[in-house]
Amino acid sequence: MLLHIPSLFAADELLRIREALAQADWADGKVTAGHQSAKAKHNLQLPEAHPLAKEIGSALIERLWQTPQFMSAALPHKVFPPLINCYREGGNFGFHIDNALRQPKGSAERVRTDLSATLFLSDPDSYDGGELVIQDTYGTQQIKLAAGHMVLYPGTSLHKVNPVTRGERYAAFFWTQSLVREDSQRALLFEMDNAIQQLSADLPDHPSLLQLTGTYHNLLRRWAEV
């Protein structure tokens, strides 16, 4: 399941973020790549402990926890603290699959990367190239979203970032360990939850609502790992 989640940050917030990122001290992006991914990764990244990365990441997680679409689709159990990267002219990241497990710096706890996410921070007109290309069972998708918009997709997907040929592409990225490991099961629960919410809005007294809601929670009880 690939999901577009819009408008997590307002235009004035994004402007302040980009101004701060333009002044930041960047490190080589290979520092957080696995052995194979490092061969294909050519970008810059804020160190995990960088105060600006922590500030942006904390704000993003706070927004996500208040976003019903994310909560319903991801069913989050653990979230790897968001990282911030930058692609400048020539920067790219060849096809790869994200590591199955990630361990935040300074933490003993590991996160299984069931879901990957990219939050675009740059206006798409401010740079050329830089599309996120995702290959999975639903085909190949080229994604270049408006600033403040996020894409959520299975961590099992083969994906890449096309070379940036003009300007700078800033983005936040992170991984989520879901309560439900299987993407097909999460997709089914997401569709059912959407149907329940629509039925609740259109026919709040419909007797099927009780049965549908019960079925949703029984499936979640069967599939959830806590």
Annotated binding site for Fe cation: 96, 98, 159
Query: Binding site membership for 2-oxoglutarate: which residues?
Result: 169
Determine the Cα–Cα distance for residues 122 and 135; give it in Å rounded to an integer.
Answer: 23
Residue numbers in the known binding site are 96, 98, 159, 169
Q: Give the Cα separation of 80 and 174 in Å (integer).
A: 6
Nearest by Cα to 173 from 88, 102, 106, 123? 102
